């Protein structure tokens, strides 16, 4: 079955950087939207960034100017470069793909069918 595997999470101090990766197996990401979501304890899962099949990119306002999403179709991998990290960025980060419900907005988790298991990001002040 399709697998999305995230990596690159960890613990950093505020102002630091991390680069997350999400690699797909048994699935070609070319032409499909790839998104990053995050979920902090006791909070709803929220969209962080998305790159659609044509390469158009959208960011949540909370990360605009600090995070960069990019994709490597040849290696079926999407990345999230996170700079100037803040304690409020602390969360489990998930990648998602395949807009099963394309009428839903990109930041709605129910839009996507395939999910990774998540990678933890912890930012200390």
The contacts of residue 101 (CB under 8 Å, 6+ apart) are 108, 110, 111
Query: CA of 2: how far to CAs of 34, 61, 68, 92, 110, in Å?
Result: 14, 30, 25, 21, 17
- Tokens, residue 38: 């995050």
Residue 99, pLDDT score: 86
Residue 38, pLDDT score: 98
For each of the chain's 125 residues, which pLDDT tens digit applies?
A: 999 999 999 999 999 999 999 999 999 999 999 999 999 999 999 999 999 999 999 999 999 999 999 999 999 999 999 999 999 999 999 999 988 899 999 999 999 999 999 999 999 99
Residue 45, pLDDT score: 98
- Helix (H/G/I), strand (E/B), else coil: 79: strand
């Amino acid at each position: 079955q399709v697998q999305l595997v995230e990596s690159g999470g960890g613990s950093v101090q505020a102002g630091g950087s991390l680069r997350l990766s999400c690699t797909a197996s048994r699935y070609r990401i070319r032409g499909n939207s790839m998104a990053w979501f995050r979920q902090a304890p006791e909070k709803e899962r929220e969209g962080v960034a998305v790159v659609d099949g044509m390469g158009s990119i959208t960011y949540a306002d909370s990360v605009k100017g600090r995070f960069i999403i990019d994709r490597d179709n040849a290696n079926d991998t999407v990345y999230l470069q996170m700079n100037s990290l803040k304690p409020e960025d602390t969360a489990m980060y998930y990648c998602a793909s395949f807009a099963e419900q394309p009428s839903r907005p990109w930041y709605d988790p129910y839009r996507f069918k395939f999910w990774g298991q998540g990678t933890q990001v912890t930012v200390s002040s």
